[in-house]
Amino acid sequence: MADEMRDGGEVEVDLDAQGEDLEAAMREAVAAVEEVEAGATAPPPAAAPAPAAPQTPDEEIAALRKELADVRDRSVRTLADFDNFRKRSERERQESRRYAVLEPLREVVGVMDNLERALQAGGSAEDLKRGVEMILRQMQELLRRQNVREVTAVGQPFDPAIHEAVSREESPDVEAPTVTEALMRGYFLHDRLLRPAMVKVAVPGERKPAAEGEGPAE
């Protein structure tokens, strides 16, 4: 008990008990203050989203018109971009076709320079021949680098797809039309025919019937 009655009517106060009660009260007050401060600094709870108000028919029509206008605007921009791309691609294609032979022609003019030097140089006919042969080898090397190859002709069966017959003769030595001479060479560019070979063709001749008393003609 905090207070006790003594003889003579005096009241004895228990100071230790009162000090303990005061400390407990102070702790409770501090805890209450901290709780209030924590509640003040904590973020407020998220409010539930308010339900969207229903749109009126006029508002729905206005929203649809706005969406349609946006789609139309994007479509117009897309068509304009595509048209610009098409025009640019067409210009690039025309330039590529126009200048496709630029690199080969640079080498051709080099061959022409050598030909002019050979014609201007003095010397015998033999020297001129050697110069021309050198230029021919240079031109053949140029064609090889451009993937140009010669059409096989002499000794091959005549093929109208790659051979052009300019002369024809009968021969008992062949059983089918055969190329015997190339009058002008033909060429392929990669796998496409650049020019057919101008050729002389031998065709089977009529065999003479065997005379009486002789064996069959071989």
Low-confidence ranges of the chain (pLDDT < 70): 1-27, 29-53, 206-218
CATH for 148-207? 2.30.22.10
Q: Taking the complete model, does pTM exceed 0.75, yes or no?
A: no
Largest CA distance in the chain: 187
What's the half-sphere exposure (Cβ side, CA atoms, 13 Å) at 156?
15
Neighbours of 79 (CB within 10 A): 10
pLDDT of 11 reads 42
pLDDT of residue 63: 85
Looking at residue 117, its pLDDT comes to 84
Q: For residues 177 and 153, is the Cβ–Cβ distance under 8 A? A: no
List phi, psi (to 5°) of 95.
Answer: -65, -40
- Please answer whether residues 108 and 142 qualify as being in contact, where contact means their C-beta atoms are separated by less than 8 angstroms: yes
Note the pLDDT of residue 161.
Answer: 93
Query: If DSSP codes are grouped into helix, strand and coil, which group holds residue 33?
Result: helix
Helices within the chain (DSSP H only): 15-41, 57-98, 102-120, 125-145
What does the domain layout of the chain look like in residue ranges? 148-207
**Neighbouring C-beta atoms of residue 41, cutoff 10 Å:** 6
Whole-number Å distance between alpha carbons of 167 and 203 = 11
